[in-house]
Structure 1
Amino acid sequence: MGTAMTLTAGGDVQVTLTKAGRTKVRYPATVVDDDGVRVVVRAPWGRPTVRDFGFVRFEPGDVFTEHYWRDRWYAVKEVRAADGSVKGWYCDVTRPAEVGPDGIVIEDLDLDLWQSADGSTVLRLDEDEFRRSGIEDRDPVAAARARQALDALEEQARGGRLRAL
Protein backbone atom coordinates (compact mmCIF):
# COMPACT_ATOMS: atom_id res chain seq x y z
CA MET A 1 0.00 0.00 0.00
CA GLY A 2 3.01 2.31 0.29
CA THR A 3 3.07 5.26 2.65
CA ALA A 4 -0.03 5.31 4.81
CA MET A 5 -2.24 8.33 4.35
CA THR A 6 -3.55 9.68 7.66
CA LEU A 7 -6.86 11.44 8.01
CA THR A 8 -7.34 14.72 9.87
CA ALA A 9 -9.46 14.72 13.04
CA GLY A 10 -12.68 16.64 12.48
CA GLY A 11 -12.59 16.04 8.73
CA ASP A 12 -15.31 14.40 6.72
CA VAL A 13 -14.70 10.99 5.16
CA GLN A 14 -16.64 8.38 3.21
CA VAL A 15 -16.74 4.83 4.58
CA THR A 16 -17.31 2.17 1.95
CA LEU A 17 -18.08 -1.44 2.81
CA THR A 18 -17.62 -3.81 -0.11
CA LYS A 19 -18.59 -7.43 -0.45
CA ALA A 20 -17.65 -9.78 -3.28
CA GLY A 21 -16.28 -6.87 -5.30
CA ARG A 22 -19.40 -4.69 -5.02
CA THR A 23 -20.24 -1.72 -2.84
CA LYS A 24 -22.58 -2.92 -0.10
CA VAL A 25 -22.96 0.44 1.66
CA ARG A 26 -21.31 3.85 1.56
CA TYR A 27 -21.89 6.61 4.09
CA PRO A 28 -20.37 9.83 5.44
CA ALA A 29 -18.54 9.95 8.76
CA THR A 30 -16.44 12.38 10.77
CA VAL A 31 -12.85 11.49 11.63
CA VAL A 32 -12.24 11.31 15.40
CA ASP A 33 -8.63 10.12 15.26
CA ASP A 34 -6.08 8.50 12.94
CA ASP A 35 -2.75 7.36 14.38
CA GLY A 36 -1.55 5.79 11.13
CA VAL A 37 -2.67 2.29 12.15
CA ARG A 38 -6.18 2.75 13.57
CA VAL A 39 -8.76 5.18 12.23
CA VAL A 40 -11.71 6.14 14.42
CA VAL A 41 -14.77 7.76 12.85
CA ARG A 42 -18.22 8.70 14.08
CA ALA A 43 -21.36 8.34 11.99
CA PRO A 44 -25.09 8.49 12.63
CA TRP A 45 -27.27 5.52 11.71
CA GLY A 46 -27.81 6.44 8.09
CA ARG A 47 -31.20 4.93 7.39
CA PRO A 48 -34.57 6.53 8.11
CA THR A 49 -35.92 3.16 9.27
CA VAL A 50 -35.29 0.73 12.11
CA ARG A 51 -33.23 -2.41 11.47
CA ASP A 52 -34.19 -5.03 14.03
CA PHE A 53 -31.73 -7.92 14.37
CA GLY A 54 -33.61 -9.48 17.28
CA PHE A 55 -30.71 -8.90 19.69
CA VAL A 56 -30.40 -5.15 18.92
CA ARG A 57 -32.28 -2.48 17.01
CA PHE A 58 -30.43 0.12 14.97
CA GLU A 59 -32.65 3.17 14.67
CA PRO A 60 -32.62 6.82 13.65
CA GLY A 61 -30.66 8.80 16.25
CA ASP A 62 -28.18 6.00 16.95
CA VAL A 63 -24.52 6.97 16.64
CA PHE A 64 -21.72 4.59 15.68
CA THR A 65 -18.11 5.15 16.76
CA GLU A 66 -16.20 2.93 14.37
CA HIS A 67 -12.64 1.64 14.74
CA TYR A 68 -10.81 0.49 11.59
CA TRP A 69 -7.30 -0.92 11.50
CA ARG A 70 -4.88 -1.02 8.61
CA ASP A 71 -3.29 -4.18 10.06
CA ARG A 72 -6.20 -6.14 11.57
CA TRP A 73 -8.86 -8.26 9.93
CA TYR A 74 -11.83 -6.63 11.68
CA ALA A 75 -13.63 -3.41 12.53
CA VAL A 76 -15.34 -2.62 15.84
CA LYS A 77 -18.35 -0.32 16.05
CA GLU A 78 -19.64 1.00 19.35
CA VAL A 79 -23.36 1.67 19.03
CA ARG A 80 -25.02 4.36 21.15
CA ALA A 81 -28.69 5.29 21.32
CA ALA A 82 -29.86 8.86 20.74
CA ASP A 83 -29.78 9.41 24.53
CA GLY A 84 -26.07 8.49 24.63
CA SER A 85 -26.50 5.10 26.31
CA VAL A 86 -24.38 2.28 24.90
CA LYS A 87 -26.34 -0.44 23.11
CA GLY A 88 -23.29 -2.60 22.45
CA TRP A 89 -20.52 -3.37 19.98
CA TYR A 90 -21.04 -4.67 16.46
CA CYS A 91 -17.89 -6.16 14.97
CA ASP A 92 -17.32 -6.89 11.28
CA VAL A 93 -14.67 -9.34 10.14
CA THR A 94 -13.03 -7.62 7.17
CA ARG A 95 -9.76 -7.40 5.33
CA PRO A 96 -7.52 -4.66 6.79
CA ALA A 97 -8.88 -1.18 6.04
CA GLU A 98 -7.60 0.73 3.05
CA VAL A 99 -7.37 4.44 3.77
CA GLY A 100 -6.88 6.88 0.93
CA PRO A 101 -8.11 10.06 -0.68
CA ASP A 102 -11.51 8.48 -1.33
CA GLY A 103 -11.94 7.56 2.33
CA ILE A 104 -11.96 4.23 4.14
CA VAL A 105 -12.68 1.05 2.21
CA ILE A 106 -13.20 -2.28 3.92
CA GLU A 107 -14.12 -5.65 2.43
CA ASP A 108 -16.76 -7.52 4.42
CA LEU A 109 -15.90 -11.21 4.93
CA ASP A 110 -19.39 -12.11 6.24
CA LEU A 111 -18.46 -13.05 9.81
CA ASP A 112 -19.71 -10.72 12.56
CA LEU A 113 -19.85 -10.56 16.33
CA TRP A 114 -22.19 -8.70 18.68
CA GLN A 115 -21.62 -7.87 22.34
CA SER A 116 -24.37 -6.29 24.41
CA ALA A 117 -23.64 -3.19 26.49
CA ASP A 118 -23.67 -5.13 29.76
CA GLY A 119 -21.38 -7.79 28.29
CA SER A 120 -23.80 -10.62 29.08
CA THR A 121 -24.48 -11.46 25.43
CA VAL A 122 -21.75 -12.31 22.92
CA LEU A 123 -23.02 -13.67 19.61
CA ARG A 124 -21.06 -15.04 16.65
CA LEU A 125 -23.05 -14.13 13.56
CA ASP A 126 -23.32 -15.17 9.91
CA GLU A 127 -21.10 -18.25 10.04
CA ASP A 128 -23.52 -19.96 7.63
CA GLU A 129 -23.25 -17.02 5.22
CA PHE A 130 -19.45 -17.25 5.46
CA ARG A 131 -19.52 -20.94 4.53
CA ARG A 132 -21.86 -20.28 1.58
CA SER A 133 -19.67 -17.43 0.29
CA GLY A 134 -17.12 -19.87 -1.13
CA ILE A 135 -14.16 -17.94 0.34
CA GLU A 136 -12.74 -21.09 1.92
CA ASP A 137 -12.20 -22.53 -1.58
CA ARG A 138 -11.50 -19.25 -3.40
CA ASP A 139 -9.10 -17.74 -0.85
CA PRO A 140 -8.24 -20.20 1.95
CA VAL A 141 -5.63 -17.87 3.47
CA ALA A 142 -8.17 -15.04 3.83
CA ALA A 143 -10.75 -17.51 5.17
CA ALA A 144 -8.31 -18.67 7.84
CA ARG A 145 -7.49 -15.05 8.78
CA ALA A 146 -11.22 -14.29 8.99
CA ARG A 147 -11.84 -17.20 11.37
CA GLN A 148 -8.84 -16.14 13.50
CA ALA A 149 -10.21 -12.59 13.60
CA LEU A 150 -13.64 -13.79 14.77
CA ASP A 151 -12.00 -15.89 17.50
CA ALA A 152 -9.90 -12.89 18.59
CA LEU A 153 -12.97 -10.64 18.71
CA GLU A 154 -14.87 -13.17 20.80
CA GLU A 155 -11.95 -13.44 23.21
CA GLN A 156 -11.79 -9.63 23.50
CA ALA A 157 -15.56 -9.40 24.06
CA ARG A 158 -15.60 -12.09 26.73
CA GLY A 159 -12.63 -10.41 28.42
CA GLY A 160 -14.39 -7.02 28.44
CA ARG A 161 -11.77 -5.45 26.18
CA LEU A 162 -14.10 -4.10 23.46
CA ARG A 163 -15.27 -1.48 25.97
CA ALA A 164 -11.72 -0.21 26.36
CA LEU A 165 -11.36 0.92 22.73
Structure 2
Amino acid sequence: MSGTSAEARHATVRVALVKAGRTKIRYPAELLADDGTKLTVRAPWAAPHVRDFGFVRFEPGDVFTEHYWRDRWYAIKEVYAADGTLKGWYCDVTRPTVRTGDTLTVEDLDLDLWVSADGATILRLDEDEFAESGLATTDPAAAEAAVRALDDLEALARAEGFGTL
Protein backbone atom coordinates (compact mmCIF):
# COMPACT_ATOMS: atom_id res chain seq x y z
CA MET A 1 0.00 0.00 0.00
CA SER A 2 1.30 3.45 -0.77
CA GLY A 3 -0.05 6.92 -0.46
CA THR A 4 0.89 10.44 -1.28
CA SER A 5 2.91 12.52 1.13
CA ALA A 6 -0.16 14.66 1.87
CA GLU A 7 -2.23 11.57 2.74
CA ALA A 8 0.59 10.16 4.85
CA ARG A 9 1.12 13.17 7.11
CA HIS A 10 0.27 12.56 10.74
CA ALA A 11 -0.82 8.97 10.15
CA THR A 12 0.46 6.49 12.70
CA VAL A 13 2.15 3.31 11.50
CA ARG A 14 3.82 0.46 13.35
CA VAL A 15 7.38 -0.45 12.49
CA ALA A 16 8.08 -4.16 12.92
CA LEU A 17 11.79 -4.95 13.02
CA VAL A 18 12.35 -8.60 12.17
CA LYS A 19 15.65 -10.38 12.72
CA ALA A 20 16.39 -14.04 11.99
CA GLY A 21 12.70 -14.71 11.34
CA ARG A 22 11.47 -13.25 14.65
CA THR A 23 10.01 -9.88 15.45
CA LYS A 24 12.64 -8.12 17.55
CA ILE A 25 10.64 -4.98 18.31
CA ARG A 26 7.46 -3.18 17.24
CA TYR A 27 6.93 0.50 17.82
CA PRO A 28 4.55 3.24 16.70
CA ALA A 29 5.83 5.98 14.41
CA GLU A 30 4.42 9.04 12.71
CA LEU A 31 4.33 8.52 8.94
CA LEU A 32 5.78 11.68 7.41
CA ALA A 33 5.84 10.58 3.75
CA ASP A 34 5.21 7.62 1.47
CA ASP A 35 5.79 8.23 -2.22
CA GLY A 36 5.36 4.59 -3.20
CA THR A 37 9.10 3.87 -3.06
CA LYS A 38 10.48 5.73 -0.04
CA LEU A 39 8.80 5.92 3.37
CA THR A 40 9.82 8.35 6.09
CA VAL A 41 8.67 8.04 9.69
CA ARG A 42 9.50 9.73 12.99
CA ALA A 43 9.59 7.94 16.31
CA PRO A 44 11.07 8.37 19.76
CA TRP A 45 13.77 5.95 20.94
CA ALA A 46 11.70 2.83 21.50
CA ALA A 47 13.56 1.35 24.48
CA PRO A 48 13.02 2.53 28.06
CA HIS A 49 16.75 2.45 28.80
CA VAL A 50 20.02 3.86 27.45
CA ARG A 51 21.95 1.86 24.88
CA ASP A 52 25.58 2.91 24.87
CA PHE A 53 27.54 1.77 21.83
CA GLY A 54 30.70 3.59 22.86
CA PHE A 55 30.58 5.88 19.83
CA VAL A 56 26.97 7.04 20.48
CA ARG A 57 24.32 6.69 23.17
CA PHE A 58 20.66 6.13 22.31
CA GLU A 59 18.53 7.25 25.22
CA PRO A 60 15.00 8.15 26.21
CA GLY A 61 14.16 11.50 24.63
CA ASP A 62 16.08 10.80 21.42
CA VAL A 63 14.04 11.10 18.23
CA PHE A 64 14.67 9.09 15.08
CA THR A 65 13.67 10.18 11.58
CA GLU A 66 13.79 6.90 9.70
CA HIS A 67 14.00 6.49 5.93
CA TYR A 68 12.97 3.17 4.38
CA TRP A 69 12.83 2.06 0.78
CA ARG A 70 10.85 -0.59 -1.03
CA ASP A 71 13.63 -0.98 -3.60
CA ARG A 72 16.82 -0.66 -1.53
CA TRP A 73 18.50 -3.04 0.88
CA TYR A 74 18.96 -0.53 3.68
CA ALA A 75 17.34 1.98 6.01
CA ILE A 76 18.89 5.26 7.17
CA LYS A 77 17.93 6.66 10.56
CA GLU A 78 18.72 10.25 11.54
CA VAL A 79 19.28 10.30 15.29
CA TYR A 80 18.51 13.48 17.25
CA ALA A 81 19.03 14.20 20.94
CA ALA A 82 16.09 15.46 22.98
CA ASP A 83 17.33 19.03 22.46
CA GLY A 84 17.20 18.61 18.66
CA THR A 85 20.95 18.21 18.14
CA LEU A 86 21.83 15.75 15.40
CA LYS A 87 23.87 12.85 16.83
CA GLY A 88 24.40 11.13 13.48
CA TRP A 89 22.98 8.46 11.21
CA TYR A 90 22.51 4.81 12.09
CA CYS A 91 22.08 2.72 8.96
CA ASP A 92 20.65 -0.80 8.95
CA VAL A 93 21.19 -3.21 6.09
CA THR A 94 17.75 -4.74 5.51
CA ARG A 95 15.68 -6.40 2.88
CA PRO A 96 13.51 -3.88 1.04
CA THR A 97 10.77 -2.61 3.37
CA VAL A 98 7.22 -3.89 2.97
CA ARG A 99 4.18 -1.84 3.95
CA THR A 100 0.97 -3.73 4.63
CA GLY A 101 -1.79 -1.46 5.86
CA ASP A 102 -0.37 0.45 8.81
CA THR A 103 2.62 -1.87 9.36
CA LEU A 104 6.12 -1.42 7.96
CA THR A 105 8.04 -4.69 8.07
CA VAL A 106 11.79 -4.29 8.08
CA GLU A 107 14.00 -7.39 8.02
CA ASP A 108 17.37 -6.61 9.61
CA LEU A 109 20.31 -8.45 8.02
CA ASP A 110 22.81 -7.67 10.83
CA LEU A 111 25.14 -5.31 8.95
CA ASP A 112 25.10 -1.68 10.13
CA LEU A 113 26.89 1.59 9.51
CA TRP A 114 27.28 4.55 11.88
CA VAL A 115 28.05 8.05 10.60
CA SER A 116 28.68 10.83 13.12
CA ALA A 117 26.88 14.16 12.69
CA ASP A 118 30.04 15.83 11.40
CA GLY A 119 30.76 12.93 9.01
CA ALA A 120 34.22 12.43 10.50
CA THR A 121 33.47 8.99 11.97
CA ILE A 122 32.16 6.22 9.74
CA LEU A 123 32.02 2.77 11.30
CA ARG A 124 31.06 -0.56 9.74
CA LEU A 125 29.32 -2.61 12.42
CA ASP A 126 28.32 -6.20 13.13
CA GLU A 127 30.17 -7.83 10.25
CA ASP A 128 30.96 -10.71 12.63
CA GLU A 129 27.24 -11.21 13.39
CA PHE A 130 26.50 -11.19 9.68
CA ALA A 131 29.14 -13.84 9.01
CA GLU A 132 27.74 -15.98 11.85
CA SER A 133 24.14 -15.60 10.64
CA GLY A 134 24.64 -18.17 7.89
CA LEU A 135 22.84 -16.00 5.33
CA ALA A 136 25.64 -16.57 2.81
CA THR A 137 24.72 -20.27 2.88
CA THR A 138 20.94 -20.10 3.25
CA ASP A 139 20.33 -17.19 0.86
CA PRO A 140 23.49 -16.29 -1.08
CA ALA A 141 21.71 -13.71 -3.26
CA ALA A 142 20.44 -11.84 -0.20
CA ALA A 143 23.89 -12.03 1.43
CA GLU A 144 25.46 -10.55 -1.69
CA ALA A 145 22.83 -7.78 -1.80
CA ALA A 146 23.46 -7.04 1.89
CA VAL A 147 27.22 -6.68 1.47
CA ARG A 148 26.69 -4.50 -1.60
CA ALA A 149 24.23 -2.33 0.39
CA LEU A 150 26.77 -1.79 3.18
CA ASP A 151 29.41 -0.84 0.61
CA ASP A 152 26.93 1.55 -1.07
CA LEU A 153 26.04 3.18 2.26
CA GLU A 154 29.68 3.70 3.15
CA ALA A 155 30.48 5.14 -0.28
CA LEU A 156 27.49 7.50 -0.04
CA ALA A 157 28.49 8.61 3.45
CA ARG A 158 32.05 9.33 2.35
CA ALA A 159 31.10 11.08 -0.90
CA GLU A 160 27.93 13.03 -0.14
CA GLY A 161 26.79 12.32 3.40
CA PHE A 162 23.16 11.90 4.39
CA GLY A 163 22.24 15.53 4.95
CA THR A 164 19.89 15.67 1.95
CA LEU A 165 17.64 12.73 2.70
Which TM-score band applies after superposition, normalised by the shorter structure? over 0.9
Q: Among the aligned pairs, what percent are the same residue? A: 63
Partner of 2:159: 159
Deviation at 1:72, TM superposition (A): 0.2
Deviations 1:28-48 (A, max 9, x none): 000111111000000001222
Deviation at 1:103, TM superposition (A): 1.0
RMSD over aligned Cα, in angstroms?
Answer: 1.0
Partner of 2:93: 93
Partner of 1:34: 34
Provide the rounded CA distance (Å) in 1 between the counterparts of 2:47 and 2:139: 33
Provide the rounded CA distance (Å) in 2 between the counterparts of 1:115 and 1:28: 25
CA contact (8 A) 2:2 2:35 kept: no
Structure 1 gaps, min length 5: none
Deviation at 1:160, TM superposition (A): 3.0
Determine whether 1:12 maps to 2:12. Answer: yes
Provide the rounded CA distance (Å) in 1 between the counterparts of 2:119 and 2:102: 35
Provide the rounded CA distance (Å) in 2 between the counterparts of 1:90 and 1:112: 7
Q: State the AA in 2 paired with 1:44.
A: P
Determine whether 1:49 maps to 2:49. Answer: yes
Partner of 2:68: 68
Deviations 1:36-75 (A, max 9, x none): 1000000001222110000000011100000000000000
Determine whether 1:84 maps to 2:84. Answer: yes
Moved over 4 A (4+): none
CA contact (8 A) 2:2 2:34 kept: no
Partner of 2:142: 142
Per the normalisation by structure 2, the TM-score is 0.95
CA contact (8 A) 1:119 1:160 kept: no
Q: State the AA in 2 paired with 1:138.
A: T
Q: State the AA in 1 paired with 2:15.
A: V
- Paired residues in the alignment total 162
Q: State the AA in 1 paired with 2:77.
A: K
Per the normalisation by structure 1, the TM-score is 0.95
Deviations 1:81-100 (A, max 9, x none): 00100000000000000011
Provide the rounded CA distance (Å) in 1 between the counterparts of 2:125 and 2:68: 19
Provide the rounded CA distance (Å) in 2 between the counterparts of 1:108 and 1:74: 9
